[in-house]
Amino acid sequence: MLKTFPLDSRAKTTALKQPKELFVYARTSDGKYVYDKEGVQKKHLLYYYLPDSYVDKQFDLTQGYSKFKKIPDEENMGDFEALLKGIMDYEQKSGNKIGCDIITFRGLMTKLMLLPYNLTEPLDLYVVSYDGQLFIKSDDEKELKKKSEEIEKVSPAEQDFRTRCEYSGYKFEALCTLPRPWSECDRGTIECRPQKTVNNYEQYLSMVRTGIGSVKLALAGEVDGAWDYLPREGSPLGHYVELKTSRAIMSPGQLPGFEKKLLKTWAQCFLIGIKRVVYGFRDDDLILRNVELYNTEEIPILLKDSVSDRPKINCTNALKWYGAVIQWLATSIPRNEFKLWKLNYDPGSHIFSVSEAMSEDFLKNSIITSEFRQWRLSLATAAKASST
Ligand code: 0WD
Ligand code: CA
C-alpha cells in the first residue's frame, strides 16, 4: 500500500500546544546514557557564559583540533534504543504510558517541517506503528551512505576544511559554556575554557511533549545549555539556549544562505520550546568575530523581509505544512498493528509518500526493542487488571 501526500498541503489553523518537558537524559563522554534526573541535571547541563569582552579576544575556533574526541558517525545516529529506555524509565516512575500519537527525535521533525524548502534533498524515515503510537526514526543506512557520498564528492582539502568547521562549532560550545552556573565556578574553570579538549560524545537531551492541531507528539532533542539557570519549579524549557556558529556575513550574496540556516534554527528551537539562540560568527580562518543573541519568537519577523526567494522563506507557511503533514501521518497510518512503514520524499519525482515495508520484520523488532515491548505489555496487562 502506498499513500502520497501533496507538497502544497497546508493546515488551515495551526493550534499549538505549549511544549512541556517530560524527562531529561544524557550521553556521557564515554558514550553511555544516564537517566536519573538529578544526576543528569547536575552533571550534564551546561551554562552559557560569554561576556562581550571575551569576543574581542579573537578566539581561534580551531585551537585543539588535533585533540578532538569525535564520536564515529555510525555511533552518532539518533539512538532510538536510548530514547526508548528513557520513555520506559519515565513510564515506570509515573505508572502511565506517555499520552501521545507520535514519538521521535526533534531533528527529524525539523527536516519534515522544512521539506518544502529542501526539495532537492531526499528524506528517508522509518515509521513503526506500535501500541497505538507511531515511532519515527531515520533510515541510518541511507543517512550514512549519503554522508560518505558527500565526502567522496569533495577534494581532500575541502573535506579537511569542513571537518575543521564542524570542530569549530563544538569548540564554540566549549568556549561559551560552564559546567555549573557562573557564580559557582572558580576562576580556573572559567579561564581554562580555551584550552579545554573538545568532544561531541556528551549530550543533554530533553524529551518534550507538544502538539499541533489535534496531534500530540513527544520529541527528544539535544539541548546545548541553560541561558541563565534551571528553575527549581516550573518549566525549564524557557531557560534553555541553542548555540550555533556561522560564517560572518560580509556581502549581500551571503545573506540567503544565512537566512536558510536561521529558518532551520527557528524550526529546531520552536519545536521544543527553546526561546533563545546564540550565534557565534566566525571568519574564513575560523576566528570568532562576533556573537549575537536571537529570540526564537523574533526570527519569523526577521525572516519576513528575507531576500531569499524560490521558495520564499516564511515560518508560518512552514508551520502550516507541518500541521498538515503531521495530521496526515497520524490519521493515515493505522496504529493498531505492529508494523513497519517507510516515509520517503523523492527529489526526482517530487513524490512524498508512506508505504508499508514488506518482509522487514526484523527491522521493526530491532527498532522497538524487546525490552520496551515487554514493558508495554506489562503496562497493558496491569491496566486491564485494574479496569476489571
Ligand atoms: O543523522 C544523524 N547522525 C543524526 C543524529 C540526525 C539527528 C539526530 N542525531 C542524534 C543527535 O546526535 C542526538 O544524539 O540524535 C539525537 C537528538 O538529536 P536532535 O536534537 O533531534 O538532532 P538535531 O536537532 O538535528 O541536532 C541537534 C544537534 C546538532 O546541533 P546543531 O547545532 O549542529 O544543529 O545534534 C548534533 C549536532 O550537535 N547532530 C549531529 N552531529 C553529527 N552529525 C548530526 C549529524 N548528522 N545531527 C545532529
Ligand atoms: Ca547547537
| pLDDT tens figures, 293-315 | 999 999 999 999 888 777 889 99
Q: Residue 78: pLDDT above 90? A: no
The residue whose CA has the least distance to atom 25 of ligand 1 is 107
Q: How far is the CA of 170 from the centre of ligand 2 (A)?
A: 8
Q: Does pLDDT of 44 surpass 70?
A: yes
Tell me, what's the pLDDT at 5?
Answer: 98
> For residue 359, what pLDDT band results from cuts at 50, 70 and 90?
low
Q: Whose CA is nearest to atom 11 of ligand 1?
A: 78
Average pLDDT over residues 164-182: 97
> Among the residues of 95-139, which ranges form H helices?
106-113
Q: What is the mean pLDDT of the chain?
A: 95
Q: Which of 187-191, 211-215, 359-363 has the lowest average pLDDT?
A: 359-363
Q: 332, 134 in Cβ contact below 8 A? A: no
Query: Could you read off the pLDDT of 210-222 as tens digits, one per residue?
Result: 999 999 999 999 9
- Lining ligand 1 with CB less than 6 A are 76-79, 105-107, 110, 138, 143, 169, 203, 220-222, 244, 268
Got the DSSP string for 251-285? SGGGHHHHHHHHHHHHHHHHHHT--EEEEEEE-TT
Closest-CA residue to 245 (of 50, 98, 17, 23): 50
Is residue 222 within 8 A of residue 25, CB to CB? The reply is no
Q: What is the pLDDT of residue 360?
A: 72
DSSP assignment, residue 132?
Answer: T
**Mean pLDDT computed over 319-348:** 96
Instruction: Pick the closest to residue 225 from 265, 185, 188, 181 (CA basis).
Output: 181
Mean pLDDT of 379-386: 89
pLDDT over 70 (residue 47): yes
pLDDT per residue over 226-247, tens digit each? 999 999 999 999 999 999 999 9
- Ligand 2: centre distance to CA 200 (Å): 11
Q: Which three cell numbers stand for residue 174?
A: 566549549
Residue nearest to atom 27 of ligand 1 (CA): 222
CA distance 223 to 286: 24
Q: Is-contact 229 238, C-beta < 8 A?
A: no
Prediction pTM value: 0.96
- The helix or strand, by DSSP H or E, that contains position 219, with its residue range, turns out to be strand 215-223
In this prediction, what percent of the chain has a pLDDT beyond 70?
A: 100
Rounded to whole angstroms, the Cα distance separating 232 from 289 reads 35
Q: What is the pLDDT of residue 52?
A: 85
pLDDT at 282 > cutoff 70: yes
